[in-house]
A and B are shown apart, each in its own frame.
Chain A
Amino acid sequence: MKAFLKFDYNLLTKKILEDKLTSFGYKFSILGFGEIEFYENVPEDKIEELREEFLKYGITIIENQKSVLVQKIKDAIHEMVYGEEILNVKVSVYLAEKLNHSYGYLSNLFSDITFTSIENYVIIQKIEFAKQLILNNKLSLTEIAFRLNYSSVAHLSTQFKNTTGITPSAFQRIISKRRDKNQ
Chain B
Amino acid sequence: MEKDYIHIILADDDEDDRLFFTDAFDELKMKTKVQTYNDGVELMNYLMAENAVLPNVLFLDLNMPKKNGIECLHEIKADKRFDDIAIAIYSTSSSEEHIEETFVNGANIYIKKPNDFNTLKKVLSDVVTINWQYHTSGLNKDNFLLRM
- In the assembled complex, the Cα of A173 lies from the Cα of B145 at a distance in Å of 12
> Which residues from chain B contact A135 at a C-beta distance below 8 Å?
143
Q: Is A152 an interface residue (CB 8 A)?
A: no
Contact at A132–B132, with CB atoms within 8 Å? Answer: no
In angstroms, how far is the closest chain B Cβ from the Cβ of A166? 5
In angstroms, how far is the closest chain B Cβ from the Cβ of A124? 6
Q: Is B48 an interface residue (CB 8 A)?
A: no
Given A114-B133, A174-B104, CB of A164 within 8 Å of CB of B140: no
Interface of A (DSSP majority class): helix
Tally of contact residues, A, Cβ under 8 A: 26
- In the assembled complex, the Cα of A58 lies from the Cα of B136 at a distance in Å of 11
Question: Which of A116, A171, A178 interacts with B133 by CB under 8 Å?
Answer: A116
Size category of the B interface is 20 to 34
Smallest CB-CB separation from A170: which chain B residue?
B100
Contact at A132–B146, with CB atoms within 8 Å? Answer: no
Contact at B132–A114, with CB atoms within 8 Å? Answer: yes
For window 137-152 of A, CB contacts with B under 8 Å fall at none
> Which residues from chain B contact A131 at a C-beta distance below 8 Å?
140, 143
- In the assembled complex, the Cα of A177 lies from the Cα of B107 at a distance in Å of 13
For window 45-92 of B, CB contacts with A under 8 Å fall at none
Given A164-B147, A165-B146, A170-B100, CB of A58 within 8 Å of CB of B130: no
Contact at B143–A121, with CB atoms within 8 Å? Answer: no
> Which residues from chain B contact A175 at a C-beta distance below 8 Å?
142-143, 145
> Which residues from chain A contact B100 at a C-beta distance below 8 Å?
170, 173-174, 177
> Which residues from chain A contact B119 at a C-beta distance below 8 Å?
none
Contact at B1–A116, with CB atoms within 8 Å? Answer: no
> Which residues from chain B contact A183 at a C-beta distance below 8 Å?
none
Contact at B130–A124, with CB atoms within 8 Å? Answer: yes
- In the assembled complex, the Cα of A131 lies from the Cα of B143 at a distance in Å of 7
- In the assembled complex, the Cα of A178 lies from the Cα of B30 at a distance in Å of 32
Q: Is A65 an interface residue (CB 8 A)?
A: no
Q: Is A72 an interface residue (CB 8 A)?
A: no
> Which residues from chain A contact B139 at a C-beta distance below 8 Å?
124, 128
Question: Which of B1, B142, B148 interacts with A62 by CB under 8 Å?
Answer: B1
Contact flags (1/0) for A118-138 with B, using CB distance below 8 Å?
000100100010011001000
- Residues of A in contact with B (beta carbons under 8 Å apart): 58, 60, 62, 64, 67, 74, 114-116, 121, 124, 128, 131-132, 135, 164-166, 170-171, 173-175, 177-178, 181
